[in-house]
Amino acid sequence: MTVLALDIGGTKFAVARVDAAGELLDRAEHPVGQAPTATLRGLVADFAGPGLTGVGIGSAGPIDAAAGTVSPINIPRWRGYRLVAAVQRLVPGVPVTLAGDAQCMALGEWWRGGHDCGSLLGVVVSTGVGGGLVIDGRPWTGRTGNAGHIGHVIVDLDGEACVCGARGCLETVAGGPSMVRWALAQGWTLAPATGRPDARALAAAARGGAPIPLAAFRRAAGALATAVLNTATVLDVRDVVIGGGVAAAGDLLLDPLRAAIAARAGMPHLRDLRVSSTTLERDAGLYGAAALALLASGMTLRPTP
Ligand SMILES: [Zn+2]
């Protein structure tokens, strides 16, 4: 049994063939470019073949899993794009399953990330903040397919307006551009010759001991801790896996995050939360997309590091 996994990101598409044991047989990726539909067609054509039993897709959002459509913010040509139907035409007769990219990251980490747990909260800290849930070995995608959107958990009742229409969402504090904006407002400056003041530069400055960038990471970690604790309070999950571009700063984010969780955890079931970094990194979404397809075919999956 071999499934095709697709990871539809805002800047690149990745594809892999994965077997039922969770071995990644081959993979490729391609920049989205000016013609996303042609890019998709080319990648699928290269990898589809006889013996394919399913296709799983993790896509940047917003997505509508019920309608099978996606509108990735960084791919303006795709607004309400009928992704599931398009892939079905390329692999006739093969079932196609779609979920959000962060949901696939969570599922991939649960399956092949070596975290050895039944349930898991995955958090992607990048330009935006996304997330996904695995509950008792199944992706928990919710009524509309949008469960796990931890970036829009409200962490500050009087906070900034968020792109989603609410106020004080986690993303307005812990998203990369939000962290940079806050640091600049506090007086952080970057010598023009050293490049643009982006999340990467902020992390470099924090690593160098600059107080405002360090404070920006502590502030983001504090907001993340609030959202993670609130989620864990409701769902009683123990394992939290953090990935994404901002999380690539590693201990800069994870150390204050763990400290804030330890300082604020109240109920006993929150005292042994395990916060880890992604172990699959860029392939987490591909493993998760493959798991989606295998689960859709009726297989039962267990974590296999
Ligand atoms: Zn929001």
The H-assigned helical ranges of 92-157 are 101-112
Dihedral of the CA atoms 83, 85, 91, 93 (nearest 10)? 140
| 302, part of any domain | no
Whether the Cβ atoms of residue 126 and residue 151 lie closer than 8 Å to each other: no
Is 253 strand, coil or helix? helix
| 264, part of any domain | yes
CA of 280 to the centre of ligand 1 (A): 27
250 or 239, greater pLDDT: 239
Q: What average pLDDT does the segment 152-172 reach?
A: 96
CA of 128 to the centre of ligand 1 (A): 10
Whether the Cβ atoms of residue 289 and residue 57 lie closer than 8 Å to each other: yes
Q: Let me know whether 160 and 73 are in one domain.
A: no
Q: Which two tokens stand for residue 199?
A: 């999340």
CA of 163 to the centre of ligand 1 (A): 6
Residue 74, CA distances (Å) to 31, 77, 239, 283 in order: 12, 9, 30, 20
pLDDT at 191 over 80: no
| 112, part of any domain | no
CA of 137 to the centre of ligand 1 (A): 28
pLDDT for the residue numbered 4 = 98
Is 273 strand, coil or helix? coil
Q: Is the peptide bond before 303 cis (omega within 30 degrees of 0)?
A: no
Q: Apex CA 54: angle with CA 288 and CA 284, to 5°?
A: 15
CA of 196 to the centre of ligand 1 (A): 26
Question: In total, how many domains does the chain have?
Answer: 2
Q: How far apart are CA 119 and CA 239, in angstroms?
A: 7
pLDDT for the residue numbered 44 = 94
pLDDT band for 78, please (50, 70, 90 cuts). very high
pLDDT for the residue numbered 49 = 84
Q: Which two tokens stand for residue 288?
A: 């998760």
Residue numbers of the domain that contains 15: 2-106+282-297
CA of 113 to the centre of ligand 1 (A): 28
Q: Let me know whether 121 and 82 are in one domain.
A: no
| 132, part of any domain | yes
Q: Let me know whether 100 and 199 are in one domain.
A: no
Q: Let me know whether 19 and 79 are in one domain.
A: yes
Q: How far apart are CA 284 and CA 16, in angstroms?
A: 12
Work out the percent of the chain whose per-residue pLDDT is above 90: 89
Question: What CATH number is given to the structural domain containing 155?
Answer: 3.30.420.40
| 305, part of any domain | no
The residue whose two tokens read 């599922």 is 107
Q: Let me know whether 48 and 86 are in one domain.
A: yes
Q: Let me know whether 9 and 61 are in one domain.
A: yes
Q: What average pLDDT does the segment 75-94 reach?
A: 96
Q: What average pLDDT does the segment 19-24 reach?
A: 95
CA of 129 to the centre of ligand 1 (A): 9
Q: Where are the beta strands (DSSP E) in 78-215?
A: 96-100, 120-125, 129-135, 138-139
Amino acid letter, residue 192: P
| 96, part of any domain | yes
CA of 132 to the centre of ligand 1 (A): 16
pLDDT at 187 over 90: yes
Q: Let me know whether 20 and 160 are in one domain.
A: no
Q: What average pLDDT does the segment 178-183 reach?
A: 97
- Beta-carbon count within 10 A of 196 CB: 9
CA of 168 to the centre of ligand 1 (A): 7
Whether the Cβ atoms of residue 224 and residue 174 lie closer than 8 Å to each other: yes
Q: Let me know whether 71 and 152 are in one domain.
A: no
CA of 174 to the centre of ligand 1 (A): 11
CA of 149 to the centre of ligand 1 (A): 9
| 304, part of any domain | no
Q: Let me know whether 126 and 87 are in one domain.
A: no
Q: Let me know whether 101 and 188 are in one domain.
A: no
pLDDT band for 287, please (50, 70, 90 cuts). very high
Q: Let me know whether 181 and 265 are in one domain.
A: yes
pLDDT for the residue numbered 126 = 92
Ion ligand 1: protein residues whose beta carbon lies under 5 Å: 152, 162, 164, 166, 169
Dihedral of the CA atoms 140, 122, 63, 146 (nearest 10)? 40
pLDDT for the residue numbered 305 = 77
Q: Let me know whether 88 and 185 are in one domain.
A: no
Work out the percent of the chain whose per-residue pLDDT is above 70: 100
Q: How far apart are CA 162 and CA 165, in angstroms?
A: 6
pLDDT at 36 over 80: yes
| 175, part of any domain | yes
CA of 62 to the centre of ligand 1 (A): 13
CA of 180 to the centre of ligand 1 (A): 18
